[in-house]
A = this chain, B = another copy of it.
């Protein structure tokens, strides 16, 4: 798109007005929401923009559609006004217009260009004029990725490879096997597994075949795989993208297509040994990534159920109350209590009783204290949970991963299918490489003993425990860390750039490249017949290629090659047959 107004400008406008159009929401808010990108870092650079964007998220799609039309009723900067008018015009003109009006939007983040100037990172959207066949006359072709998705450029992919390599190495350390399932499943496989989140599932069009949906997570396909293949036990990992038609939530950096990175152990085993391995694995990955201090919170669904039962929650309300408790990490107790009482119809005293428990967190001692709590002493469910967690603490001590464990009675986890231990790892505040505040959960999981049985014809179940890394968050934090430490990751791994010093030497360049490749050395050269020598040397410097192999006519005649260190610019002349060995030595010494 032609440049929209800078965020400063929108922020300034919103410091004066509650909404884009003045003092009430209008279609102008939708237009701007579609066109600007609210940065997802937690810095406080654009407080008004943030406040407004967060408020906008509280409207449903249909509510936003029902906003009154935009009228120029308040003072507005020209750039902003232009943007609104342009967006609204497209809104009207777009054929096959969808209620969300995504086509006209530009939701993707814009990030700085890469150093090498080859490309822009992320999806820097441009409204192209390219006309696609079959569009209406007014239908401008918008060149963008679908809403909530983005491209990943070379630098991002380089950081990702590093994070993945750490995680894969830990998975392999635990003897996990890898599996892969299709990106879509029969819709029936997903039906009834995600509760009210099912509305976020992407369905494929019925093109005369099966009714299919894109996978929503990797856990349900895993359970389907275990049941379908009648597997008794397996320890597997699966890294793949999943799909959720979530509200844009650009402020929170959430996407509709994102990676999940799952590790699960299925099988009938003795209590808490696989569960402890999961905790150990989270501990190892976070330690190896070196992202600073972290805490692994643990709790147990049976303890929560015991608390709910003992406090007088009717059993049919266990899950709804549980998902209210789940919000404690984002909202204060007062709000959670309000949800319990007002929305979920709990008695006030019952809610208060629950409040006494779910606010507690501590170490092993708290387990002991609560196990002897007057009310919980008589709850078999709670006592079973306490026994499990005590054992888990002991096993984690033996494994050497107990120091980060915190027993947190407020941890509830959103998903319905958990049946036992639950855990969640958070990076603790102050470690977030330039961002303010804690970054929140980076891994989570727990025991789900009933899911496989939902797929088995005889309801035969296979107990499971597993975890999922919030890998997109880890990517971001890792990248921030590497940048903060000026620990530059390169997009390529090229070791030698072959430079020719004069004209007519393209064949000599290719021969040298063939020779280096033959020896397994990563080498590149120019694609021009007669490139300028300075441009070639500059390319090597810009791309941080450590060595240059330089030949001119005299070098070819004498059967020698000049090796140049890109950083020190030191040059040595060696015999051609010593090239590979010399390069290896020099690379080894770097």
Contacts and interface: CB of A to CB of B under 8 A. Distances in A.
A511 interface: yes
A192 B131 CA distance: 10
B133 A192 contact: yes
A149 B189 CA distance: 15
A232 interface: yes
Interface string A126-149: 111110111100000111111101
A180 B157 contact: yes
Contacts of A176: 492
15 contacts: A118-B233, A118-B234, A124-B228, A128-B227, A128-B456, A133-B191, A145-B186, A146-B212, A151-B181, A152-B180, A175-B493, A175-B494, A175-B523, A400-B511, A400-B514
Interface stretch (A420-428, A466-474, A524-532, A556-564): A524-532
Interface in A86-144: 96, 98-100, 102-103, 118-120, 123-130, 132-135, 141-144
Interface string A194-231: 00000000111111111110100000000011111111
Given A103-B210, A457-B130, A510 B175 contact: no
Main secondary structure of the interface of A (DSSP, over half): loop
A110 to B, nearest CB: 11
Given A146-B185, A184-B149, A398 B132 contact: no
A459 to B, nearest CB: 8
A520 to B, nearest CB: 7
A517 B132 contact: no
Nearest to A61: B208
A205 to B, nearest CB: 4
Contacts of A228: 123-126, 128, 143-145, 151
A12 interface: no
A507 B161 CA distance: 35
A245 B209 contact: yes
A183 B181 contact: no
Interface residues of A, number: 128
Contacts of A172: 492-493, 522
A188 interface: yes
Contact of A182 (B103, B146, B186, B265): B146
Interface stretch (A272-280, A321-329, A364-372): A272-280
Contacts of A524: 174-175
A333 interface: no
Contact of A173 (B130, B214, B265, B517): B517
Query: Top 9 closest A-B pairs, CB basis?
Result: A154-B177, A129-B457, A269-B527, A149-B182, A398-B510, A175-B494, A400-B514, A157-B178, A203-B205
Interface in A271-296: 273-274, 276, 280, 284
A320 B206 CA distance: 31
A458 interface: yes
A571 to B, nearest CB: 22
A504 interface: no
